[in-house]
Amino acid sequence: MNIGLDVMGGDFAPLEAIKGVRRFFENHPDTAVHLTLVGDTEKVQPHLSLVDTWKDKYTFVHATQIIEMDEHPTKAFKEKPDSSIAVGFGLLARKKIDAFIGAGNTGAMLVGAMYSVKTIEGVLRPTIASFVPRENGSFNLLLDVGINADCKPEHLVQFAQLGTMYMERVMGMSRPRVSLLNIGEEEGKGNILAQATYPMLQQATHINFIGNTEGRDIFLDKADIFVCEGFVGNIILKMAESVYHIFKEQRGVQDDFLDQFNYELYGGTPILGINAAVMIGHGISSALAFENMIVNVERIVQTELISAMQQEFTS
């Protein structure tokens, strides 16, 4: 398996990305994963000594350009064909790599994914999903978390199906409980979207719909999958991150469950519904986050999630 990594992506690139690569190889000495690191040789070279021990386990691919965090995604992706993001997606589209990971400009990562590997036939809109910590030690899946601000019921139903396949195959969960994130427990509660989506989720195939959940349930063992519009999911995700930032990083609160709010544990956010395994990292991705992204994306490839999704939606 060959996993591509944009080492120029993220606020602390390329150092943290390279350190993440080292962590991955250190902690997985017998891995069958070969990494393809994409970046600007001049900027990356000084740090490559960190991974010298594993030089037969990675390939370096030079990319002369970088898409900065504040650039317009579509414009930058088109105007910088030799950026690390564009080069990475080029490799992915040509199947030179099996998956691609990047913590750079999120929009450009999305544009690259749509433009190069494209949406799975039958999927209305790809989605991004994020884990949120669950009080009993496990994780819940929240989706969409930001790329689909406005949704229709049929989008939410597909998010439920995509999330279910992800939890089943990649996380090894049996019949994950899907819930509609709402502002009341009973059917009929909520905004127009939620009211219209509820009966469609009840009738949808291949999901285990258990009904509505509320804001208070997000960290509990009440459902495994929380489906919502990207506008709502993104606010929840950033709020959860701020809980960690304020209580752990600023106030030094020591608590096992609080530690689970650390985004680094999840590594990044998979794009679900496209024809390849792509993981988007947080801008502030650390070595640990990069390591976990490699681990997660490896699992997506191993479990053949993409071909399963292609079969599910195309048929």
Our finding on whether 295 is near its own copies (CB under 8 A) is no
Using CA atoms, how far apart are residues 64 and 42, in angstroms rounded to an integer? 9
Evaluate whether 294 touches 24 at the Cβ level (below 8 Å): yes
For residue 126 the two structure tokens come to 């790809």
Closest CA to 218 of 180, 173, 249, 187: 180
CB 230, min distance to its own copies, A: 7
- Backbone φ and ψ for 39, nearest 5 degrees, come out as 180, 180
- Single residue of 149, 202, 221, 307 touching its own copies by CB under 8 A: 149
Residue type at position 126: P
CB 243, min distance to its own copies, A: 6
CB 252, min distance to its own copies, A: 9
Of 100 and 219, nearer to its own copies (C-beta) is 219
Our finding on whether 161 is near its own copies (CB under 8 A) is no
Using CA atoms, how far apart are residues 160 and 265, in angstroms rounded to an integer? 23
The neighbour count for residue 183, using CB atoms within 10 Å, is: 11
Evaluate whether 181 touches 164 at the Cβ level (below 8 Å): no
- Single residue of 27, 242, 307, 311 touching its own copies by CB under 8 A: 242
Binding mask 188-227 for its own copies (x = CB under 8 A): --xxx-x-------------------xxxxxxx-------
Of 55 and 253, nearer to its own copies (C-beta) is 253
Strand (E) positions, 147-229? 177-181, 208-213, 225-227
Our finding on whether 75 is near its own copies (CB under 8 A) is no
CB 127, min distance to its own copies, A: 14
Element spanning 60, H or E: strand 58-62
Of 20 and 107, nearer to its own copies (C-beta) is 107
Binding site for its own copies (CB under 8 A): 135, 146, 149-150, 181, 183, 190-192, 194, 214-220, 229-232, 234-239, 241-243, 245-247, 250-251, 253, 255, 257-258
